[in-house]
Structure 1
């Protein structure tokens, strides 16, 4: 029953009534969505808790929004993380705008499936306009049956009530923001925006330069041609428009953690005559992946369709396309390799494009006009490619290749033609432009190298080629496609050259160089498990930076002396809720188990700044890298840090676990965490304490290294952040990234200061930033006093081999010389000279 002042909210399920704070999701439990209550349901039908109007049914049918006759607006949400089921197991029994009676069924769902495949069945019931109403429990917590009184909803007298006839879909919010993603709104950022928008019921659009696109469409968003630092308007329509707007503004203004600065020109326009020397048989391109190779040329052509005469039955072709898309989605899903981040991110973006309504609508419209499924899909994709290529944005033009990849994948499925070409082993494959799936297929065939007439060095194919170690040139120009195949060529991707007329001596040189490089890696690998000791007997630990058990296993195979940095963020990102203590323990323990008898340094969660969590809304900051991040977030949200520390204290054996604190800027922060570890250990009855270290990432920490070393067991220098804070240059700024060089003399002085202060206190210093993985910097770091280097797992053998060729006294002399230079460029030149004069040729990378 209800009136303008009061309404009874009846139970929509039978089950156990819970307070909202007990919902296993911080967004609901913390009241971010609004006040309310929850039920752990026993039945598989959601009933209307009052008479009213359906505002909308979620696209994935896991939730319904209702407006009661007294104006209160409700979100009835079945389970936690059920949006990820994409509607599977849910059936909507009502439509948007439909009038419903109290007790009327709204949704039916597969109780077992939802219980198995979602985070929890606990269902939040949220009052969305809680500022206008008060809630009073109509019964104590415990069991309840469908239809029994659950809450008394009463209007707040001084608030203006919403008219029962008002249309909640007219409730909107809008805001302006500058896009911070490197390269603008290309494929991955567009997919991120889409993912963010899909968490909310509101419809959202981006408006830019007189055009607009729905956030549902990745290709539509890319088609707006939004560049980095362009200002866009975000418009949200719906009952949760305000919270949706804030989430989208944050998604647009915060680069993803894995984004790297894009080169100012990432796609090379048609090659000029100066790039083509056919008389001498030389084609020049852009290095996408370095390396040397030689072998026969092999051309890989794209799929071309015969003319479509039309007259097809639309229903039949719609079914053919739907089944083909479903098959490709399944294939792409199996391509998601979460142990290889770049590959996973690329194919996750492809998955989003396969669900893009702009592409699907265009294809189905063409089918309705009588075209075949294959021609309709091809036409829809190529039309969108043309839009992206005509925007004048090199990065977006490159991303059109992802669409061509999807065109090809779907066509292969529709035409029943597997991409199973007989590529000779060791061949140099040429093509106008390859797709990521082509690249992976060619790698499996054992090709020697790849050359493309088009493409760019920041394309997804280039990223995959580098990750697979395949030499690759792009942007060689149309002359490449006129070259006769089946002839032996030399590919010098190190220097951007495809040599079409190599003589026997040159081919032999290529093979000799490849053999030397291979043998060098073999020698380094054979000695990788031996200690890294300098010529004068100083031991240097070479550990590995890892983010998963798979990384740790790779590090162990490559002879790492331990884990110098386990980034725990991998557990917290790309999910809608925080990991539990048990989940964290399992992940940390698996890394420790993968590195038997070796120390593992585990850094506490380092988010904030450029790394955001969707379930942990942080206030918008004008300069996030100077705001709430690292240990500061742990201070602001102590429950997160406590949970992580409890998990770390349960690791066995605890003696091999070392805890590292990020973004420490003063001694008090360190002391507070050490005290908290003591308290949590005492509560758990744990007498042992793990070693505790701090990251030296800000100048204040380097200046206070002596005081920090009094309370820390070790110091670890994060050269990436220390560089940007010391040089006052954002390392994600596309125009400045090349100048943020950790070999700058100012950085070297801070490292020397840190090492000297720590040595006075008997503490060791390591480097876990990118500089440790740079072979050019190895001698300098040792000369500055660093005694542990944490590098990428594949580089462990190479860095160890170089250390064995060094003499610490020579390194110290080098370091003193470098600190007196005036630029990073001068430092690098001096380091190259040192390598040439001091190291044996086989020790130089």
Structure 2
């Protein structure tokens, strides 16, 4: 140990709130088993050197490294919790082991979004690993920025040593296979050191021609032992047998398991916590109840030599039956305006007509197969093709094929969908299908668990739409849980708790009851205005697609309609609606809203939303093609007819017109001129307000110029997100990253509000971000004065507004524009304005 009498002040390696070690959500770190230290919840994506020194250890997976300061203090810096599971993905090391580094130098860069989505926590640790020679002194600060003074390291007066030396010649050794996920990284190495320090024997770990003392954290990590590697442990001393047993247990027992636990009836996968299966959240929620396993249709072996004609007729009849069932489902979805559900089952209908699928099944029948086995094999072959492509989107679409496999098999076998559920049941399955979900929802299942599946699958979309908590990718172990066992499904955190205590059950019930009471309280005040604590009024309107939805919005306390999607009048028909039909439909929405204003968006079709009676050329990039106002330029008679219908509603003063997909001022000026001409033709003295949707970055950047000629601006965050981030929001692999709280989006929103304010115009948000309670204070702080949300969220968003101070929101929101990712913004929002 050289130069260890020098005290040292460390600079912060990351920016963010500072946490005491005991508050870290990991038992090993929090217990101090690795040493004393502090933690930072990072807001940036680069780890910097806290002092001058040498890199003496780098984790194989790039998520951690250790620096030896010039005074001899050794500091482990560990990014995130459970980040070893990423196996290096999302981490980019900027230094190598043995490198000399300077204070402030970038040591590694990491993907904040990836770590946040796939790991337990972003909280990062700075641990003093040789505390026998040094002690740590926190500076008592709550938050730091990179480079600011962070904590002090001082040398101890005398280094602690073992009080007795064990000179016994007794020896014991054993071979053991390491079972820790990711191998001997920081946390398992700490447990091994802690086990070794409990005995007087000297213990060493041997691997690949090298060895290290078991009580040396750096030595154990430096061996580079991976998961599944076999190591040899040697112990010498009086208590060598006991020491060996403890070390073998520490090497082979997953973190979080209790020592000497009895064998379970069936194996379960654990993460850092025994009795918990970890998956991925597909739809949030917290529920408890009995877990019931659901299995699909299984077929006995096919003897073959069937009559082809008979089997072909059976298959045709079954296909026709399933088509009829899907048509019924589609009609119900249309009636409820459940657009996503409608799109999913429309795709199923198309799959049933797929010639490759039908030809394969028919060919097998011609060769003597039963219709059941021919259909099953044709589906499985197509699934293998999709899975073989190695793309998540196609793998998840294979689930739709399996849905059709099950439905047609049931029709062929004359079996109805039967799965009787007790009240409050949670259902597990290898992978549920969209049809299963609709049936389970109708039977009042309270939660869903799947061994496989994805968070962007059609089942996940439907589960979110129905508010049904759902966790996917739990692994096959979920299918081994005994039927009827009471569990807790914490879907928001992707957890299935297999053996919750009575206290945990009671806690879940308390949380759900509290949520229910709060929702009721919010609903009771839904018709009251939304005003911040310091007196700023925020209008909370509703997004609707029909007069029926407008009626629901009115009953739920909407201050108006912030977005009427007029496409509902134009789709699923052979001819365009005439002027009279349109006028009646728009008038019905105004009538449903009493005295409140209604913003009606002109038709937004084209590109990816085709109309049967409006043939348009195929486009390589439909989302970048003829959409919204661009279509009106090509087919001006459509917009003219719609504007005429809108100008005939009464009272016209309550009608506001909104133009979609505007990207330049001339487009707005052209429509304003045409609107003025129509008002003159109809001899109208009142002209409705004309607004512009901010959906493309160009519109946000031109907000000040647009506001000079528009009466209001309305931000469509869904399209604005995908155009700004260059990510298709329907892409299975990217959808989770299309987050409107990305700092780039917030900058565009801020610029829009600033540009509108220069001309005294108001700004609303009608995209999905308006319905996100976490985003409410940010939008208020950036200058948005109207939020248009789902009708059922009006009460919640109004309640959120009433608990805010606009001045405080303005102050803190500006700082969010400088953060590095949507994840960092969400974490900061949760700290500044926690959701209770």
TM bin, normalised by shorter chain, reads 0.5 to 0.7
Cα offset, 1:344, TM superposition = 0.8
The answer as to 2:776 corresponding to 1:778 is yes
Cα offset, 1:325, TM superposition = 1.6
- Determine the C-alpha separation between the residues in 1 that align with 2:118 and 2:725: 30
- Determine the C-alpha separation between the residues in 1 that align with 2:624 and 2:377: 48
Query: Structure 1 pair 473/706, CA: closer, same or farther in 2 (3 Å)?
Result: closer
Q: Is the 8 A contact 1:267 1:398 kept in 2?
A: no
Alignment correspondent of 2:27: none
> What do the CA deviations read for 1:554-603 (whole angstroms, capped 9, x no partner)?
43343221111122334445666544334433443343333332211111
Q: 5 Å matches for 1:689-704?
A: 689-698=687-696, 701-702=699-700
Q: Secondary structure at the match of 1:716?
A: strand
Cα offset, 1:731, TM superposition = 6.3
- Determine the C-alpha separation between the residues in 2 that align with 1:820 and 1:313: 71
- Compare 387-396 and 476-485 and name the one that shifted more: 387-396
Alignment correspondent of 1:276: 269
Alignment correspondent of 1:332: 326
Q: 1:286 aligns with which of 265, 280, 284?
A: 280
- Determine the C-alpha separation between the residues in 2 that align with 1:635 and 1:531: 40
Cα offset, 1:748, TM superposition = 4.2
- Compare 718-727 and 277-286 and name the one that shifted more: 718-727
Alignment correspondent of 1:650: 648
- Determine the C-alpha separation between the residues in 2 that align with 1:303 and 1:624: 40
Q: 2:556 aligns with which of 558, 577, 582?
A: 558
> What do the CA deviations read for 1:370-411 (whole angstroms, capped 9, x no partner)?
443333333332333333333433332322222222122122
Alignment correspondent of 1:384: 382
Cα offset, 1:805, TM superposition = 1.0
- Determine the C-alpha separation between the residues in 2 that align with 1:733 and 1:677: 38
- Determine the C-alpha separation between the residues in 1 that align with 2:623 and 2:349: 31
Q: Is the 8 A contact 1:654 1:689 kept in 2?
A: yes
Q: CA RMSD in A?
A: 3.4
- Determine the C-alpha separation between the residues in 1 that align with 2:802 and 2:366: 70
> What do the CA deviations read for 1:679-718 (whole angstroms, capped 9, x no partner)?
2233234443222122234555455545544433222233
Q: Is the 8 A contact 1:267 1:457 kept in 2?
A: no
Cα offset, 1:775, TM superposition = 1.9
**What are structure 1's unaligned runs of at least 5 residues?**
1-261, 837-843
Q: Secondary structure at the match of 1:419?
A: coil
Q: Secondary structure at the match of 2:775?
A: helix
- Determine the C-alpha separation between the residues in 1 that align with 2:725 and 2:458: 31
Query: Structure 1 pair 629/474, CA: closer, same or farther in 2 (3 Å)?
Result: closer
Alignment correspondent of 1:319: 313
Query: Structure 1 pair 620/373, CA: closer, same or farther in 2 (3 Å)?
Result: closer
Alignment correspondent of 1:588: 586
Alignment correspondent of 1:502: 500
Q: 5 Å matches for 1:560-709?
A: 560-573=558-571, 578-607=576-605, 611=609, 616=614, 628-698=626-696, 701-702=699-700, 705-709=703-707
- Compare 706-715 and 609-618 and name the one that shifted more: 609-618
Q: Is the 8 A contact 2:393 2:732 kept in 1?
A: no
Cα offset, 1:340, TM superposition = 0.6
Query: Structure 1 pair 646/346, CA: closer, same or farther in 2 (3 Å)?
Result: same
Q: Secondary structure at the match of 1:775?
A: coil
How many residue pairs get matched? 574
Q: Secondary structure at the match of 1:457?
A: coil
- Determine the C-alpha separation between the residues in 1 that align with 2:339 and 2:598: 21
Cα offset, 1:348, TM superposition = 0.9
Cα offset, 1:437, TM superposition = 1.2
Q: Is the 8 A contact 2:392 2:732 kept in 1?
A: no
- Determine the C-alpha separation between the residues in 2 that align with 1:494 and 1:312: 50
- Determine the C-alpha separation between the residues in 1 that align with 2:320 and 2:114: 36
TM-score where L is the length of structure 1? 0.62
> What do the CA deviations read for 1:541-561 (whole angstroms, capped 9, x no partner)?
001222334443443343221
The answer as to 2:440 corresponding to 1:445 is no
Q: 1:713 aligns with which of 711, 714, 718?
A: 711
Alignment correspondent of 1:517: 515
Query: Structure 1 pair 824/352, CA: closer, same or farther in 2 (3 Å)?
Result: closer
Q: Secondary structure at the match of 1:494?
A: helix
Query: Structure 1 pair 731/375, CA: closer, same or farther in 2 (3 Å)?
Result: closer
The answer as to 2:303 corresponding to 1:305 is no
Q: 1:814 aligns with which of 812, 815, 818?
A: 812
Q: Is the 8 A contact 1:536 1:808 kept in 2?
A: yes
- Determine the C-alpha separation between the residues in 2 that align with 1:418 and 1:745: 51
Cα offset, 1:667, TM superposition = 4.1
Q: 2:459 aligns with which of 430, 439, 461?
A: 461
> What do the CA deviations read for 1:442-497 (whole angstroms, capped 9, x no partner)?
11111121111222222221221111111111222222222211221111111111
- Determine the C-alpha separation between the residues in 1 that align with 2:591 and 2:656: 14
- Determine the C-alpha separation between the residues in 1 that align with 2:747 and 2:608: 27
Alignment correspondent of 1:795: 793
Alignment correspondent of 1:345: 343
- Determine the C-alpha separation between the residues in 1 that align with 2:367 and 2:619: 51
Q: 1:402 aligns with which of 370, 388, 400?
A: 400
Q: Is the 8 A contact 1:320 1:373 kept in 2?
A: yes
Q: Secondary structure at the match of 2:492?
A: coil
Query: Structure 1 pair 709/308, CA: closer, same or farther in 2 (3 Å)?
Result: closer
- Compare 670-679 and 811-820 and name the one that shifted more: 811-820
Q: Is the 8 A contact 1:289 1:469 kept in 2?
A: yes
- Compare 722-731 and 460-469 and name the one that shifted more: 722-731
Alignment correspondent of 1:839: none
Q: Secondary structure at the match of 2:774?
A: helix
Query: Structure 1 pair 368/295, CA: closer, same or farther in 2 (3 Å)?
Result: same
TM-score where L is the length of structure 2? 0.63
Query: Structure 1 pair 559/420, CA: closer, same or farther in 2 (3 Å)?
Result: same
Alignment correspondent of 2:61: none
- Compare 444-453 and 694-703 and name the one that shifted more: 694-703
Q: Is the 8 A contact 1:267 1:455 kept in 2?
A: no
**What are structure 2's unaligned runs of at least 5 residues?**
1-112, 120-179, 182-226, 228-253, 255-267
